[in-house]
């Protein structure tokens, strides 16, 4: 079984690959496997691994790279996260919530009827915002 430090190093390397390759789906699958390995090492962290997997999906599939995220300096990422975290009512209604970033296309609002799935999306968006703030501060 992979040791935690080695797993962290592998995840960092994979994140670097994701931002520098046209074959992002292959690397996203690798990331999911690493995340699963981490979950097996530490039972009870399924939620964390799901959030990390969603963040990797956002990068690999949606193309929301760190460079792209760095352009969102007006709280867009955290506002979108708030929308997904609002609750089932927002997903059931299907209407774009008032808190959705004004500069974002309404077609990007894709809630699930699964409350947990929406919370995973929200947490991944918050993670993206935290990472953006860290990069802006040179951390």
* pTM (2 d.p.): 0.68
Taking alpha carbons only, the member of 45, 75, 56, 53 closest to residue 16 is 56
**Residues 84, 112: Cα–Cα separation, whole Å:** 9
Q: How confident is the model at residue 113 (pLDDT cuts 50, 70, 90)?
A: confident
What DSSP line would sit under 83-138, residue for residue?
Answer: HHHS-HHHHHH-SPPTTS-TTS-GGG----S-HHHHHHHHHHHHHHHHHHHHHHTT
Task: Indicate if the pLDDT at residue 85 is higher than 50.
Answer: yes
Q: How confident is the model at residue 2 (pLDDT cuts 50, 70, 90)?
A: very low
Taking alpha carbons only, the member of 113, 111, 137 closest to residue 125 is 111
Query: What is the arithmetic mean of pLDDT over 10-28?
Result: 55
Which residue is it, tokens 């430090």?
5
How would you classify residue 129: left for phi > 0, otherwise alpha for psi between -120 and 50, otherwise beta?
A: alpha
pLDDT digits (tens, 9 = 90+) for 32-56: 666 666 655 566 688 889 999 999 9
Question: Which distant-in-sequence residues (6+ apart) come within 8 Å of 86 by Cβ?
Answer: 97, 99
């Amino acid at each position: 079984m992979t040791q935690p430090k080695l797993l962290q190093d592998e995840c960092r390397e994979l994140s670097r690959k994701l931002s520098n390759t046209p074959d992002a789906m292959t690397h996203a699958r690798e990331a999911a496997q690493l995340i699963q390995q981490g979950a097996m090492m530490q039972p009870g962290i399924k939620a964390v691994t799901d959030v990390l997997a969603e963040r990797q999906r956002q990068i690999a599939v949606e193309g929301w790279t760190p460079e792209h995220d760095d352009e969102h300096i007006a709280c867009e990422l955290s506002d979108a996260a708030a929308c997904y975290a609002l609750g089932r009512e927002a997903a059931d209604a299907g209407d774009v919530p008032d808190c959705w970033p004004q500069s974002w296309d309404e077609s990007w609002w894709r809630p699930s009827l699964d409350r947990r799935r929406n919370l995973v999306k929200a947490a991944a968006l918050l993670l993206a915002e935290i990472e953006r703030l860290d990069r802006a501060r040179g951390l």
